[in-house]
Structure 1
Amino acid sequence: MQRLNKVRLSGRAGEIVFSHEHYGRYYYKFMLTVIRKSGAVDMFPIVIEDSVVRDNDYNGKEVLVTGAIRSMDTSKNPNKHHNVNYIAADKVEVLEEQVPEGDINEVEFIARSCTKEPYAKLTPVTHRKVLNLFVAIPRDYSERADFIRCTLWGKGADLAVDVKRNDYIKVTGRLMSRDVYVNGEETETVYEISVKEMEKLEDEE
């Protein structure tokens, strides 16, 4: 099966801070503020290798980020999983000004569905049909995968009902962030894909 995991985001970069070291490579992180056409604001963690950062200071500047969706299991319980998403940046380009048409937010990937029996439901206020799929995006040259939730609306939700566990799908859409309550008190930011188009692919040989 073809491997595909592409993200393009533009917005205002926050302060760069050290993230972690992995096999002798140093990684840094900043938060990217992306404004939707509706005016709502998404904030995404961007992780970059020191070879990409070099001497660049992105803080407060408009940038264009290209990279891939990644997830990390932060659970200390071997019987439970807690995935945290971020964007692994291949390139960060400083822009002279904000994109005139609005901030860029484009996601495209091929993934395997992890949802056994997806079903559509109606939102309580607007009564709009919605369906959630949890998917695994295979990595290049690795047995590992990155996990994220996809949200489909209306006719897209109707089509996704036929997607079963281990089916492969091609998705285009945009990345979103939202805060959820944990244990009724603390809030946690989660990330998901608002699906624009979805195509069910042939089974992997």
Structure 2
Amino acid sequence: MENVQLQGTVLDENRCETNKALLQGTVLTDLQFSHKSYGESFYWFEMGIGRKSGYRDEIKVVVSERLIWDISFSIGCRIRVEGQVRTYNEECEGRSKLNIVVFARGISRLETEEEEDQDENNIYLDGFLCKTPIRRTSPLGRELCDIMLAVNRMYNKSDYIPCIAWGRNATYAGGLEVGTKLAIIGRIQSREYKKRDGDGNILSRIAYEVSILKIEE
């Protein structure tokens, strides 16, 4: 993510933003420089957030130096992040790749044992369906539906956020038309998949998406 330029309610009556992320988990990597904008330096790190199934999502977070200058920040410490889901395109192996991060607007270290025992991964989005939904079936026979949500932000910009619906939500999402305004509650997740390159080698890749828990027009 070096030198990448990132600009810093229907389902929930407490939600007043079209794009909100609330994460709580463990720092997995050291801070690494991302980019500088208007004299302000930004860094990125990976954050681990456990699921009830035992799997751990590893999410990239971008944070300003001005939010962490007074925080003792190290691998293994427990933190809480409030921010937004952001996306940007990056050239990779001659192709454009969509990258997804959480842009931190607030960050704090967890101090009490009760806080440290709890992981949290909540995403709230209001946006517009910008591509035709793709319905498919998982290897275990569960119905899935992939959708792309365009979420507007300041300066006439938008984030294009891939989301995945399951079961009844997948059936519902599969019947929606492009341009439909949607409200979504879910979690941001990382998923490993295999890809074969031009030489026939099988490579491991990580995809990021919002797993939908609730969805409505």
Q: Give the TM-score band, short-chain normalised.
A: 0.7 to 0.9
Q: Residue 207 of structure 2 aligns with which residue?
A: 190
2:49 corresponds to 1:34: yes
1:92 Cα offset (Å) = 0.9
Q: Give secondary structure in 2 for the equivalent of 1:37.
A: coil
What is the alpha-carbon distance in structure 2 between the residues aligned to residue 108 and residue 67 of structure 1? Answer: 11
Give, in whole Å, the separation in 2 of the partners of 1:186 and 1:23: 38
Distance in 2, Cα, partners of 1:197 & 1:144: 25
User: Corresponding residue for 1:203?
Assistant: none
- TM-score after normalising by structure 1: 0.87
Deviates more, 1:65-74 or 1:89-98: 89-98
Q: What CA distance in whole angstroms lies between the structure 2 residues aligned with 1:87 and 1:188?
A: 19
Residue 136 of structure 1 aligns with which residue? 150
- Tell me what 2:192 maps to: 179
Deviation at 1:54, TM superposition (A): 1.1
**What is the aligned counterpart of 1:46 among 43, 56, 61?**
61
Consecutive unaligned residues of structure 1, counting only runs of 5 or more, are: 201-205
Q: Matched residues, percent identical?
A: 25
Matched, 1:167 2:167: no
Distance apart, 1:31 and its partner CA: 0.8
* Gapped regions of structure 2 (runs ≥ 5): 1-8, 10-15
User: 1:128 & 1:146 partners in 2: Cα distance?
Assistant: 28
Aligned to 2:71: 56
What one-letter code is carried by the residue in structure 2 that aligns with 1:41? R
- 2:131 alignment partner, SS class: coil
Change (3 A) 1:170 1:92: same
Q: Distance in 1 between matches of 2:178 and 2:124?
A: 20
- The equivalent of 2:141 in structure 1 is 127
Alignment root-mean-square deviation, CA? 2.3
Could you list the runs of 4 or more consecutive aligned residues of structure 1 that deviate by over 3 angstroms after TM superposition?
97-102
1:52 is paired with a residue of what secondary structure?
helix
Tell me the TM-score normalised to structure 2 length: 0.82
Match of 2:104 in 1: 89
The DSSP-based 3-state class of the residue aligned with 1:165 is coil
3-state SS of paired residue (2:170): helix
1:9–1:66 CA contact under 8 A, matched in 2? yes
